[in-house]
Amino acid sequence: METIEYRKSKLLVKTIPKDTLLFRIVAKPIDDVRGVLLEDGTRCLTPNYNVFFHPNPFMGALSLKTYLQKDQNIVYAYKLKHDIKVIALVEPSKYTRRTKNSKSMFVKRCSTVKKGCLPNEGKWYDPCLSDTIIEKYPNIVGILALSIGDTAQMKRNLKKTQKLTKYFKYAKDARGISGVPELILHPLSTRPTKDVITHDTDLLENNYEQIARFGRSDIQNMEKFMEQHAIYNPDTYFFNYR
């Protein structure tokens, strides 16, 4: 694992390989690749535009059960189009997702970063990267981290569906938390330092592409997909597509 420097600290950077599988429950999948729709018909992507992915298609429903809306009923499967680099906030890193609560750090609460062209500011509980990291390392397009709340809810609900446990591979972080990590990615292959306004006709270099979709309760077909196409990669805690 390589490292980068930030204010005399060394941050761990993990390479996530091409064809890694990513899963996400979302109502508007086009937002995940082109940005949020604005009133004038264009779309907005900011330097800290974050898209949250899980390693398997079951994690979203189990970890976000109390937050999902009625229109969030589709699980989308993606795969990476190329190798990407992300900051690792799991062991052996001494930093975690909670580092966002500390002052003058490389990761901060998304509510404290510029909202730019987005209609709303980010959430206080989500991690965003500092301007310094974005400007100095535009090839760092994401974060690998554990969410305490999501992990706790997932573990409670997973007890009811034990047959799926083989798809839940745990990582640990410096807090002693053990759970399934998420990848928090920017849609673009090179993270921009300024807002990007996109139009429907623009060709974008995205980090990932959609390959399948499932009904949120269609466990049978999601299991079939994983059995046929997923190979676990212990270095990333995610699965590779075959």
Dist CA 154 CA 149 (whole Å) = 9
Dist CA 120 CA 122 (whole Å) = 7
CA atoms within 13 A on the CB side of 115: 9
Looking at the domain assignment, is residue 177 inside a domain?
A: yes
Is residue 187 scored above 70 in pLDDT?
yes
Looking at the domain assignment, is residue 238 inside a domain?
A: no
Looking at the domain assignment, is residue 239 inside a domain?
A: no
Write the CA distances from 72 to 22, 29, 213, 216, integer angstroms.
17, 10, 12, 8
What confidence score (pLDDT) does residue 1 get? 84
What residues make up the domain containing 72?
A: 2-28+35-233
What confidence score (pLDDT) does residue 69 get? 67
Looking at the domain assignment, is residue 241 inside a domain?
A: no
CA dihedral sign of residues 111, 115, 120, 126: negative
Looking at the domain assignment, is residue 73 inside a domain?
A: yes
Looking at the domain assignment, is residue 74 inside a domain?
A: yes
Looking at the domain assignment, is residue 153 inside a domain?
A: yes
Q: Are 47 and 192 in contact (CB under 8 A)?
A: yes
Of 37, 167, 14, the C-alpha closest to 83 is 14
Structure tokens at 226: 């994983």
Instruction: Quote the number of domains for the chain.
Output: 1
Span 38-72, pLDDT tens digits? 999 999 999 999 999 999 999 988 887 666 666 78
Residues 6+ apart with CB under 8 A from 53: 22, 23, 24, 78, 182, 183, 184, 185, 208
Structure tokens at 11: 């941050």
Span 1-29, pLDDT tens digits? 899 999 888 999 999 999 999 999 999 99
